[in-house]
Chains A and B, each alone.
Chain A
Amino acid sequence: MSVIAVVKYEFESSPDTKQGRVLQMPSSISMELQQQIRSGSLQGACLQYVNLMGVWLEGIDFSGADLTNACFEFAVLSSCNFQDCKLEKANLKRANLIGANLNGAHLRNADLYYARLTCASLKKADLSNANLERTILRCADLSGARLTNARGNPVIDRTKMEGIIQ
């Protein structure tokens, strides 16, 4: 028996400050990137190979960013905007992508193993050769998405799949 992954959550709040959950950013993330994340926008940023494993990134606007080979394993990406992002070969294993906008995103060869995409929008996303094993696509919208050679057994439940390209 072993451990597959470890994530550390560090809180700035004390028992006296009940309001607000303030998670500290991992020290491995540069100060500049931490500031950009706090601003809520990484539009068009070039972040190839960035490691944001387990980081809380809810609602960040990544639209148009280059996130090729980025690692987002276990990251919370709910309600993030990834419209037209480059996410080729990105590690999105076990990520929380609930309600995220991935319309037109380039997810070729991305690893979405056991990722949670409930209510996410993936219209016209390119998922060619992506790993969709155990990927949860409940109530997601894949209209017009490209799934050529995508592999695995995702959870399909009330998933919109009109016009998908196999």
Chain B
Amino acid sequence: MIVYHFCTSVNEANAYLIIDAENKEGLLIDVPTWTEGMQKVLDEYKAKLVGVFITHEHYDHTSGLSELYKIYPNIKRYPQKEFFNDPENEKYNKLTVGQWEGTILSLPGHTAESVGLYIGNVVFTGDALFAGSVGGTVSPQEAKQQIEAIQKKILILPEDTLILTGHGPASSVGIEKKFNPFLQNNNSG
């Protein structure tokens, strides 16, 4: 599995392109903008874009959708609406990119519909979790909800799981468990 990380000029939001080179399939994670560089990567691997995964509905993660739909009008969007009614239902919380199966994780807090994707040894966290920090929330209740979701869905993953976030650099589950001040037991972040 290969992952391309694009740091874009849209609020420095990250987009990612997962490529299964063997099976020539790709999945786009967030679309702050759609660029020729992304298409070039797909072309280089002769990969078919099988879907677009949106971590949450903020403009800096979706602004490129309209451009993407012009080029790929029938592209499948993840998560499907049904996911939010039943996040544990495997009919809606699974997706595949070539030989790789991913699990969609509900991570409410930054927004009610925030989601992540665990695929291979990588978890994409959108704006729920950053290297050394967590996403902004509008109330203490949502902040608590977000921390609980991170603890239950992400910190249980193997410590060497790579974390790729909506903004900023990569991290790992082990690094975040050890250092992220928002995730320590006293939640004093």
Interface residues of A (CB under 8 A from B): 1-11, 13-15, 18-21, 23, 54, 56, 58, 74-76, 78-79, 94-96, 98-99, 114, 116, 118-119, 136, 138-139, 158
Which of B69-77, B85-93, B167-175 lies at the binding interface?
Answer: B167-175
> Which residues of B are found within 8 Å of A98, using beta-carbon distances?
131-132, 171, 175, 179-180
Do B4 and A7 touch (CB < 8 A)?
Answer: yes
Closest to A56 in B: B170
In Å, the complex CA distance between A139 and B164 comes to 22
Do A8 and B4 touch (CB < 8 A)?
Answer: yes
Q: Is B121 an interface residue (CB 8 A)?
A: yes
Do B4 and A114 touch (CB < 8 A)?
Answer: no
Do B1 and A5 touch (CB < 8 A)?
Answer: no
Interface string of B103-133 (1 = CB under 8 A from A): 0000000000000000011100000001111
In Å, the complex CA distance between A23 and B161 comes to 11
Distance (Å) between the CB of B73 and the closest chain A CB? 20
Main secondary structure of the interface of A (DSSP, over half): loop
Do A96 and B9 touch (CB < 8 A)?
Answer: no
Do B121 and A21 touch (CB < 8 A)?
Answer: yes
> Which residues of B are found within 8 Å of A20, using beta-carbon distances?
121, 160
Do A99 and B12 touch (CB < 8 A)?
Answer: no
A-B contact pairs, 24 of them (CB 8 A): A1-B8, A1-B9, A2-B9, A3-B7, A3-B9, A4-B8, A6-B5, A6-B6, A6-B37, A7-B5, A11-B120, A21-B121, A21-B158, A21-B162, A54-B5, A54-B170, A56-B170, A76-B169, A76-B175, A94-B7, A96-B131, A116-B130, A118-B181, A119-B179
Do A1 and B131 touch (CB < 8 A)?
Answer: no
Do B12 and A4 touch (CB < 8 A)?
Answer: yes
Interface residues of B (CB under 8 A from A): 1-10, 12, 32-33, 35, 37, 63-64, 99-101, 120-122, 130-133, 158, 160-162, 164, 168-172, 175, 178-181
> Which residues of A are found within 8 Å of B171, using beta-carbon distances?
76, 78, 96, 98
Besides A8-B2, A76-B169, A118-B131, 5 other A-B contacts (C-beta < 8 A): A6-B6, A6-B37, A11-B3, A15-B99, A21-B161
Closest to A139 in B: B181
In Å, the complex CA distance between A96 and B163 comes to 12
Contact of A10 among B2, B131, B175, B180 (CB under 8 A): B2
Do A9 and B169 touch (CB < 8 A)?
Answer: no
In Å, the complex CA distance between A4 and B122 comes to 22
> Which residues of A are found within 8 Å of B164, using beta-carbon distances?
9
Do A95 and B169 touch (CB < 8 A)?
Answer: yes
Closest to B4 in A: A8
Known A3-B7, A99-B179; contact A74-B169, beta-carbon cutoff 8 A: yes
> Which residues of B are found within 8 Å of A4, using beta-carbon distances?
7-9, 12
In Å, the complex CA distance between A15 and B97 comes to 11
> Which residues of B are found within 8 Å of A6, using beta-carbon distances?
4-7, 37
In Å, the complex CA distance between A139 and B168 comes to 18
Instruction: Please give me the 5 A-B residue pairs with the lowest Cβ-Cβ distance, nearest first.
Output: A118-B132, A1-B33, A21-B121, A96-B169, A7-B5
Contact of A1 among B5, B10, B99, B179 (CB under 8 A): B10
Closest to A117 in B: B132
Distance (Å) between the CB of A99 and the closest chain B CB? 5
